[in-house]
Amino acid sequence: MDKFVLSAERRRAMLEALERSGSPVDVSGPTEEVELPKVEIEQIGGINESMLFELEDGRIACMLQVAVTNREAQAIKVHAVELRTPFSDIQWEWLTPLRIKFRRRGKRDGEYLEYRFPGKCGWKFEHARVINKFLLECRRLEGHSYIEGFLLGTGGPMPAELHRGQSVDSTLAISVADRKEYATPVHLWIDRLEERAKIATPLKSLFEKAGEENTATLGVVARRRVSRSGLDRPLSSPGSRSTFEKRK
């Protein structure tokens, strides 16, 4: 069987990144080349395609784009998937697909599977672009397989210490049937609803000194200006190649 070798430089860099994200590792170990693990996890895509964001009900949501490789000839059973963040112990609830039905003229009604975040954010993902089904539904990595896509989930209340535009170093870990764990550092961009809303609040001071009639007129003009600047746009992925659509 072919052996996959990890260089000493790459091994040290990975260990140091895991240490920064809060995982207990020993960076002073041997520097010789070592065999790569059976399962490799890698964050892919742009930084804006992996994020933690706030839902309308105040909960935190996760969108993480990763690739997972099984180098073994045998299939590997997945036991658990954990996203470990440094700010709190969040219990993630990973999304499951919804069965969406639609009508076709002159034919039987059709249906398809789709992942959607709850609330009014309207984010929806094609079933083929999400890896939840492999890691959390089938819980199986086929032999000599490579999968990539989005890992989607929701948690409890979003921690108050997180701010929009912040980058958080975390760890994504996958444990398999024998309880052996494979982990990699991931970097997540933060977005909050309340901090986006605050961008437009300084405009209110312009209205307080005017009369009620003038205030109403100025309010219309101000809202139009905000709209042109894009400050009141709803939450959307900043990436240029979006894999999801806004709900209409």
86: helix, coil or strand? coil
pLDDT score at 29: 57
pLDDT score at 28: 63
Rg (CA), the chain: 22
pLDDT score at 10: 67
pLDDT score at 69: 97
Positive or negative, the CA dihedral 232, 237, 242, 245 is negative
Predicted model pTM: 0.65
For domain 39-196, is the CATH number 2.60.40.10?
Answer: yes
Q: Where in the chain are the domains? A: 1-36, 39-196
Can you list the residues of the chain whose pLDDT is less than 50?
1-5, 200-248
Q: How far apart are CA 165 and CA 147, in angstroms?
A: 29
pLDDT score at 225: 31
Take residue 176 and report the two structure tokens written for it.
């398999």
Q: How far apart are CA 110 and CA 199, in angstroms?
A: 43
pLDDT score at 219: 38
Positive or negative, the CA dihedral 156, 148, 176, 98 is positive
Give 65's strand partners. Answer: 150
